[in-house]
Amino acid sequence: MVPLKNIEGDIVEYISVHTDITERKRMEKQLEFEAFHDGLTRLPNREMLYQNLNKTISKGTSGLVLLFLDCDNFKQINDTYGHQVGDEFLVQYAQLLQRTIQDLLVQIHKKKSSLLAKQNNESQVNFPLGFSLFYSFMAYINSTKICTLYKS
């Protein structure tokens, strides 16, 4: 801000220049989101997993459980129904997992597998969570026409 003076030297007004950075901040936030999330499923990606694991390990947190989730025969879905249906399947699969899981769910690779990082206060692997995931997914598969691919 710069004062504007009259001939006598009295300040009569101030002049300032402002720049609206709202759009720039929105773009920065969007870029940060895209750097740490999968473009299709919107799940956190491998980079976010590494950051969370490093943070958790450095805190000395015990009871960390990692579950690898693999969508077998996914290529058959793409080959039979096309990539658009395959992509929609992955999106719905991710949404189903997000509804079931309260902790960090990470998309490692679009077509191969996802990984779940689960904080667990118990000393044993969280088997109830695994069963919950399995039954939720089976209910989803049985409610879609894709289930014929898995029944043989």
Instruction: Give the range of the structural domain holding residue 134, as residue numbers without chain letter.
Output: 40-149
Q: Considering the domain boundaries, does residue 29 fall inside one?
A: no
Q: Considering the domain boundaries, does residue 33 fall inside one?
A: no
Q: Considering the domain boundaries, does residue 5 fall inside one?
A: no
Q: Considering the domain boundaries, does residue 6 fall inside one?
A: no
pLDDT in tens, the chain (152 residues): 999 999 999 999 999 999 999 999 999 999 999 999 999 988 888 898 888 888 888 887 766 777 777 777 788 888 888 989 888 888 888 888 787 776 777 777 765 555 555 555 554 445 566 666 666 666 766 666 554 444 33
71: domain CATH number is 3.30.70.270
38-41 contacts: CB < 8 A, separation 24 or more?
Answer: 38/94, 38/107, 38/110, 40/87, 40/90, 40/91, 40/107, 40/110, 41/90, 41/91, 41/93, 41/94, 41/107
Domains of the chain: total: 1
Q: Considering the domain boundaries, does residue 54 fall inside one?
A: yes
Global pTM value: 0.65
